[in-house]
Amino acid sequence: MSEPSCIHAFERDLSPASALAGALGVPVRPIALHRFPDGESLVRITMADARPVLYCRLDRPNERLIEALLAADALGNRPVLVAPYLPYMRQDIAFHPGEAVSQRVVTRLLGSAVSALLTVAPHLHRTTVLDPLIAPARAIVVQPADVLAPLLRDEAGDRPVLVGPDGESAPTLARLAGLTGLEALHLTKIRSGDRQVASTLPPGTALQGRRAVLVDDICSTGTTLIEAARLLYAAGAGAVEAIVIHPLFDAAAASRLRAAGITRIRATDSVAHDCGRIPLAPALAAVLRERLP
């Protein structure tokens, strides 16, 4: 697409939206939001343009998805939606009779409302690409390795080992290793419940005092990272840190992560979080310039 003339965002998202607007050299325009006493939302756009871009963080999605759809309608022209975190992607099949397939429902709604969706590391499982789901809109996915590689290259002096918490992280770890020259490995994980996880390291893993950096796309309860930290220390790690793309964990989970010996927890600003200090704006701006028609 040609460069957007501005970025539209709700007040709660003005900080990361302003960073994206600054990277593009355009202004950011607030979206007016009013909530009625019964909980319904009224969305008002103060000034629309021919190629609207809507920035909306979609954690706490049960209200924010509706407000994003209302904003898209108010903007008109089927805007480009920048949603760094895309919710409801884990439920891609009905595991039990009578269950809704939330991934299908949410992508259908968004695909009918926007011309393109720009997101970061959607939490996909059996589904590998978003485009068929969100059609007729176009889906563009920023890969976590492209966000994290500059950061990890800058601090690679002590040669940390990059660790993925499960087999699904293998492609990200392989790309990060290629971009940074760092060693990478991933655990094998079996999940039996929301908080029940069993993991194993590759046979013969010996870290001998090295710094291990866990890289995960999403963290909610912290259970997976806690189990991974336990195994890494047992294998001789000198320190264990974590970098998370989507930090959905609360303060209690953060305390458990630190109690497990994870000495530093960093995350992107895909959602509002105390740990979310890795800016996504440079990667998002590059994609808006280069990959959307």
With residue 32 as reference, give the H or E element that holds it: strand 28-35
Catalytic-role residue among 189, 210, 246, 273: 189
Question: Which residue, 62, 86, 55, is CA-closest to 217?
Answer: 86
Residue 98 among the catalytic residues: no
With residue 63 as reference, give the H or E element that holds it: helix 61-75
- The answer to whether the beta carbons of residues 211 and 243 sit under 8 Å apart is no
Task: Indicate the pairing of strand 28-35 with strand 41-45.
Answer: antiparallel
Edge-to-edge strands of the sheet including 276-278?
184-186, 161-164, 211-219, 239-247, 262-268, 276-278
Q: Annotate 96-155 with DSSP letters as a single string.
A: STT---HHHHHHHHHHHH-SEEEEES---SS---SHHHHTTSEEEEE-HHHHHHHHHHHT
Q: Which residues does 154 contact at the CB level (< 8 Å), separation at least 6?
A: none
Q: Which residues does 279 contact at the CB level (< 8 Å), separation at least 6?
A: 16, 19, 268, 269
Question: Which residue, 51, 43, 37, 39, is CA-closest to 7?
Answer: 51
Let me know if 265 is exposed, middle or buried by CB neighbors in 10 A (0-12, 13-18, 19+).
buried
Q: Can you tell me the distance from the alpha carbon of 24 to that of 27, in angstroms, rounded to the nearest whole number?
A: 9
Q: What angle do CA 133, 143, 179 make, to 5 degrees?
A: 150
* Residues labelled as active-site residues: 189
